[in-house]
């Protein structure tokens, strides 16, 4: 039988005894040793589910894929029981973004309305225990990187306790947080002590006046204090996320370049995306990455591309010619990176989304709150990943903006 995409039905993974390597070296009690997984194991277990183009993409990134596959296995689980999260385009998913709240203490125009915001009831939010359980179910499927988002995650009380719970889960290798920084100074030490090691601060301007134009609130000085506090307790580097909007941020580009050189923080410019609550986004309002590169290279000094050790990372990194000051670009509009996407998301109210711009989501809260089995949660995760589309289609006439704005999805 041939599927519509040209592939044949999935073949059953070979049993451990069928592998050509000596059983005593690769098998313990009839199970595959995680450290012995080889590239050909990826082929035997995954290739039958993919069309030719998707397999080519997977094969080109085989070294990373083997590492993800290894992380899916432990001493008690066979390879056939726990394949990694792979979609129909060959993308492996190991990165989970967790929104802990939709509430925020500022009102950035590209994220939420200025006033009369309808927030979720507290009872609708996943508890820390529910989030922890979801992560524990997802880890055996290959999830090993987490990022906490919001809204503003630091308005969720005692967030460091959630970080501590997540950091204790075997298999989690990395936990990050994205924050607006206003409450960071008072929480940085507790977060670091709990196990958080990566932090991104959203800061779109380096003048109080322009900051207020973006956020429609005060708080600029508190953000700067938060960045310094994070560096002081050990976060290195602190990454600054600056949204680039034509007609607003051209004058902020060079100051951010100097900020990176003077403070040691990494500055990342993010192209303005259509996730605003007012549906006011237009492509003409996007200040593109290549324009910022040209401006910084002309007005400070040339930017030199850096290598990209993580091929799934959304940012393209540069450093100034003298080696001082790192600048990154997330060019979601001009240079979409959908085909290397490795991320899934769960919203604060428990909806699983396979793409930031997805029009569909899977409600996991009933399973997490009403006694659903781990197997049912696993099935829901796999189904969501399997349904992931090729890309966001922002640059086509087919693009439809999600009903949920950014603050409700989680950045």
Q: Given 42, 61, 83, which residue is the final one in a domain?
A: 83
* Section 92-109 average pLDDT: 96
Question: Does residue 101 share a domain with residue 25?
Answer: no
Residues 177 and 225 in one domain: yes
Residues 235-239: what's their mean pLDDT? Answer: 97
Average pLDDT, integer, range 68-72: 56
Residues 75 and 154 occupy one common structural domain: no
Q: Looking at the predicted structure, is the pLDDT value of residue 12 above 50?
A: no
Q: Report the distance separating Cα 222 and Cα 218, nearest Å.
A: 9
The enclosing domain of 250 has a CATH number of 3.20.20.70
pLDDT tens for each residue of 349-401: 999 999 988 888 999 999 999 999 999 999 999 999 999 998 887 777 787 77
The DSSP-derived string for 97-139 is EEE--S--SS--TTTS-SS---PPPGGGSPPHHHHHHHHHHHG
Decide if 97 is inside a domain: yes
Last residue of a domain, one of 340, 369, 389: 340
**Per-position DSSP letters for 362-411, written without gaps between them:** EE-HHHHHTT--HHHHHHHHHHHHHT--S---TTSTT----SS-HHHH--
| pLDDT at residue 7 in the model | 43
Percent of all residues in the chain with a pLDDT value above 90, rounded to a whole number: 64
Are residues 320 and 176 part of one domain?
Answer: yes
Do 276 and 163 lie in a common domain?
yes
* Tokens of residue 159, six digits: 């967030």
Based on the fold, state whether residues 108 and 221 are members of the same structural domain: yes
Asked if 79 and 98 sit in the same domain, the reply is no
The answer to whether residue 386 is domain-embedded is no
**Tally of domains within the chain:** 2
Q: Are 291 and 253 in contact (CB under 8 A)?
A: no
Q: What is the pTM of this model?
A: 0.80
Mean pLDDT, rounded, for 207-215? 96
- With respect to residue 211, please indicate whether it lies within any of the assigned structural domains: yes
Does some domain include residue 383?
no
Residue 142 belongs to a domain: yes
394 found inside a domain = no
* End-to-end alpha carbon distance in the chain: 42
Let me know the angle formed at the C-alpha of 344 by 376 and 319, rounded to the nearest 5 degrees.
Answer: 160
User: Which of 61-65, 122-126, 152-156 comes out lowest in average pLDDT?
Assistant: 61-65
In a domain, 232, yes or no: yes
Same domain, 61 and 136: no
- Residue 308: what pLDDT? 78
Q: Mark whether 236 and 137 lie in a shared domain.
A: yes
| 69 and 115 co-located in one domain | no
Three-state DSSP state, 197 = coil
Residue 62: give the domain boundaries. Answer: 16-83
Within-domain flag for 395: no
pLDDT tens-place string over residues 224-235: 999 999 999 999
Which of residues 313, 340, 367 is at a domain's end? Answer: 340
Same domain, 176 and 288: yes
DSSP 3-state of 43: helix
Same domain for 35 and 131, yes or no, is: no
């Amino acid at each position: 039988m041939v599927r519509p995409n040209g592939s044949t039905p999935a073949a059953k993974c070979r049993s451990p005894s069928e592998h050509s390597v000596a059983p005593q070296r690769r098998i313990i009690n009839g199970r595959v040793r995680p450290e012995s997984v080889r590239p050909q194991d990826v082929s035997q277990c995954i290739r039958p589910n993919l069309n030719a183009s998707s397999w080519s993409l997977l094969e080109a990134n085989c070294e990373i894929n083997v590492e993800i596959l290894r992380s899916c296995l432990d001493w008690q689980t066979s390879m056939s029981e726990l394949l990694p999260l792979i979609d129909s385009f060959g993308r492996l998913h190991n990165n989970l973004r967790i929104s802990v709240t939709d509430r925020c203490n500022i009102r950035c125009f590209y994220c939420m309305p200025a006033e009369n915001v309808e927030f979720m009831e507290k009872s609708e939010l996943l508890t820390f225990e529910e989030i922890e359980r979801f992560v524990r179910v997802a880890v055996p499927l290959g999830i090993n990187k987490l990022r906490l988002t919001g809204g503003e995650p630091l308005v969720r009380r005692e967030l460091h306790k959630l970080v501590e719970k997540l950091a204790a889960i075997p298999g989690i290798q990395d936990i990050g947080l994205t924050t607006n920084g206003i409450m960071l100074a008072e929480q940085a030490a507790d977060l670091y002590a709990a196990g958080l090691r990566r932090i991104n601060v959203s800061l779109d301007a380096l003048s109080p006046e322009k900051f207020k134009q973006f956020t429609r609130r005060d708080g600029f000085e508190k953000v700067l204090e938060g960045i310094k506090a994070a560096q002081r307790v050990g976060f290195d580097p602190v990454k600054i996320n600056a949204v680039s909007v034509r007609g607003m941020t051209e004058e902020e580009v060079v100051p951010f370049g100097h900020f990176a050189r003077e403070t040691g923080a990494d500055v990342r410019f993010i192209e303005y995306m259509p996730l605003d609550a007012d549906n006011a986004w237009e492509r003409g309002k996007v200040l593109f990455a290549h324009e910022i590169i040209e401006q910084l290279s002309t007005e400070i000094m040339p930017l030199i591309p850096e290598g990209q050790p993580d091929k799934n990372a959304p940012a393209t990194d540069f450093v100034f010619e003298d080696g001082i000051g790192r600048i990154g670009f997330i060019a979601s509009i001009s240079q979409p990176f959908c085909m290397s996407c490795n991320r899934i998301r769960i919203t604060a109210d428990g909806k699983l989304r396979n793409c930031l711009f997805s029009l569909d989501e899977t409600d996991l809260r009933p399973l997490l709150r009403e006694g659903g089995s781990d197997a049912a949660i696993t099935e829901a995760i796999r189904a969501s990943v399997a349904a992931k589309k090729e890309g966001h289609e922002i640059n086509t006439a087919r693009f439809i903006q999600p009903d949920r704005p950014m603050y409700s999805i989680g950045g």
